[in-house]
């Protein structure tokens, strides 16, 4: 599955709620999310529209490492309807 090219930071935050992430705070244009699933994990998402592909890829790689999923499994969980 390909990475979405027109995804905003806010849209990514909404999709990450499916994995148990909650917004803990926001400073300027950066949103901090935390999950307690499979251990505590923090991630910072820039509230840009759209997110740069490299930034999105790095965020998803970090999340997939935490949940021990490959990239396609993670993309399927986040973006399939």
Q: What is the pLDDT of residues 50-77, one digit of tens each?
A: 999 999 999 999 999 999 999 999 999 9
Domain membership flag for residue 68: yes
Average pLDDT, integer, range 3-29: 93
Domain membership flag for residue 50: yes
Please check the confidence at residue 81 and state whether its pLDDT lies above 70. no
Average pLDDT, integer, range 21-39: 94
- pTM, entire model: 0.90
Tell me the pLDDT of the chain averaged across its residues.
93
Domain membership flag for residue 3: no
Residue 62 belongs to domain spanning: 9-79
User: For the domain that residue 71 is a member of, what is the CATH number?
Assistant: 3.30.920.30
Domain membership flag for residue 1: no
Domain membership flag for residue 24: yes
What DSSP letter does each residue of 37-67 carry, written as one string? TTS-EEEEEE--SSPPHHHHHHHHHHHHHHH
User: How many domains is the chain built from?
Assistant: 1
What is d(CA 6, CA 39) in angstroms, rounded to the nearest whole number?
30
């Amino acid at each position: 599955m390909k990475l979405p090219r027109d995804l905003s930071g806010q849209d990514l935050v909404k999709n990450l709620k499916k994995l148990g992430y909650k917004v803990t705070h926001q400073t300027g244009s950066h949103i901090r999310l935390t999950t307690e699933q499979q251990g505590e994990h923090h991630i910072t998402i820039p509230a840009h529209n759209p997110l740069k592909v490299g930034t999105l890829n790095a965020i998803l790689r970090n999340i997939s490492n935490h949940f021990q999923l490959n990239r396609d499994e993670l993309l399927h969980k986040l973006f399939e309807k």
